[in-house]
Amino acid sequence: MKIAVRYYTRTGNTKKLAEAVAKEAGVKALPITEPLTEDIDTLFLANSVYAAGLAGDVKKFIANIDVKVGEVVNISSAAIIESTYAQVKSIVEKSGLKMSEHEYHCRGQFTLMHSGRPNTKDLQDAVTFVKEYLEK
């Protein structure tokens, strides 16, 4: 199975999640500034919420995917909303890609809210999520 991990982060929180996911998947986590260059089975897309929405750079990354992707798996963190899944799914499907029904989400620190998140447990939970996903 060919796997890629891409992430977008402003604070480093999402990068931590992406690196944990990538390590379990046996690949390297790369920022979304690194386009996909070959067909893959699974794209783990790590992202988060900024001003109650998905960052424009993430939307552009998805829209510009020009290789075959079996499915996109959402990995997200946010301080207030429960998930970025619906926002990512909408853009993924508009781009003609398939969105996995599986996702991993945890709280992310924003100012003093959810201090220290994602924490060690969140990262371990992300690893467990990937392990279970890959075993399906």
* Per-residue pLDDT tens digits of the chain, which is 136 residues long: 999 999 999 888 899 999 999 999 999 999 999 999 999 999 999 998 766 678 889 999 999 999 999 999 999 986 666 788 999 999 999 999 999 999 999 876 566 656 667 899 999 999 999 999 999 8
SS3 91: helix
Coarse DSSP helix, strand, coil percentages of the chain, rounded to the nearest 5 percent: 35, 30, 35
Strand-pairing partners, residue 31, are 7
Identity of residue 94: K
Q: What structural domains does the chain harbor? A: 3-129 (3.40.50.360)
